[in-house]
Amino acid sequence: MRTFFSSLGRFFIAPFNFIMTVSVIAITLSLPSGLLVSVNNIQSLSGQIDLNNNISVFLRQSVTLKQAKILSDSLQRDPKIIETNLIDKNAALEEFRQYSGFGTAISVLASNPLPHVIQITPLHSIDNQISLRLLVSELKQRPNIQLVQMDMGWLDRLNGILNVAQRGVTIITILLGLAVLLIISNTIRLELQNRHDEIDIMRLVGATHAFIMRPFLYSGFWYGFLGGIFACILVNLSVWLIDGPTSSLAMLYNNSFNLAFMPLIHAVLWVTFSVFLGIIGAWIVVSRYLNELES
C-alpha cells in the first residue's frame, strides 16, 4: 500500500510533466465520452417530440357521416390516442373546389369521390415506434376503415442517424483508447529510462520482475484514474455550460428540455476503462523493457 501511494508522490518531482500528461489523457477521453452524452441527450430530446396529426384514417366510401362520427368517438376513447378530428368528405370537397382551381371539373362529377377522413394524434412519442406501428395495425383491423397512413419515414431516418452516431462513437472510443494507451506507454517508457540505474540495482540484489514492475503499474493506474476522472469533469462542465442556452432555445419552441449530465454508472465505467488502459499500457512497456535487459 505504501508503494501504491508513493508512486503518486513521485509525480510531484516533475509536476508539470505529470499535469500535462494527465491533461492530454483527460482531453482525449473527453471527446468520445462527450459524444456519447450528446447522443443520449438527442435520443432523450427526440423522445419528447409529439407526433401531432400524423395518422390519417381514410374510411370506406359507403360509410355515412353518422357512422364516421361514431367511429371517431370510439377512437377518441382509446387510451393510446390523444385526439381525433373528423373531416367531412363534403366539406373537404368544397374546400378543394375553392382552392384547387378545378371547380368546373368538380361540378360535373356525379358523386363525391372523397371519403370521410379521421385525423388522429397518437399518445406515443418518437421513442416508442413499436407502439406506434402497433396502433396503426390495430386501426387497420377496424371495420369501415379503408386505409391508414402514417409518415414513419422521418422517424426511421432519425433513428438511422442515431444508430450511425452510436457506431461512430464506438469507433472513436476504440481509436482514442488506443491513443491513450500509447500516451501512457510512452510516458512509462520515459520513466523507465530515467530510473534505469535504480532498476539495475534492484536486479543486482535479486528483485523479481513483478517487484520491479509494481511501481510502474501503479503509475499507469494513476495516469488512467486521474485522466478518466478529469475527462468526466470536463464533459459535465461542458454540459453545464451549454445547458442554459439549450433550455432557452427549447422555450422558444414551447418546450421544456434540460441536458442530462453523464450518469454516475457511465462515469464509473469510463474511469474503469481508463484505468484498464493505464495498467495495460504500463505492463506492456515494462515487460518488454525487462525482457530486453535479460536478453
Q: What is the dihedral of CA 154, 128, 269, 41, to 10 degrees?
A: 50
Residue type for position 82: I
- The order of strands in the sheet holding 117-122 is 81-87, 117-122, 55-59, 145-150
Each residue's pLDDT, cut to its tens digit, for the chain (295 residues) gives: 666 666 666 676 777 888 999 999 999 999 999 999 988 888 777 665 544 447 889 998 888 888 989 888 988 888 888 888 898 887 777 776 666 565 566 665 667 778 889 888 887 554 456 777 788 888 888 888 988 887 666 667 777 888 898 899 999 999 999 999 999 999 999 988 888 888 888 888 888 888 888 889 999 999 999 999 999 999 999 999 998 888 888 787 667 778 889 999 999 999 999 999 999 999 999 999 888 877 6
Exposure string (b/e) for 227-254, b if CB count within 10 Å is 16 or more?
bbbbbbebbbebbeeebeeeeeebeeee
Q: 174 is written with which cell numbers?
A: 476504440
**Structural contact between residues 213 and 287, judged by C-beta atoms closer than 8 angstroms:** yes
Please list the residue range(s) of the chain that carry CATH number 3.30.70.3040.
55-150
Are 169 and 32 contacting, i.e. CB atoms less than 8 angstroms apart?
yes
Counting every residue written for the chain, the total comes to 295
Three-class DSSP category at 57: strand
Cα 293 to Cα 211: distance, rounded to the nearest angstrom: 15
pTM of the model: 0.68
Pick the CATH number of 55-150 from 3.40.640.10, 3.40.50.11260, 3.30.70.3040, 3.30.9.100: 3.30.70.3040
Cβ contact 228:222 at 8 Å: no
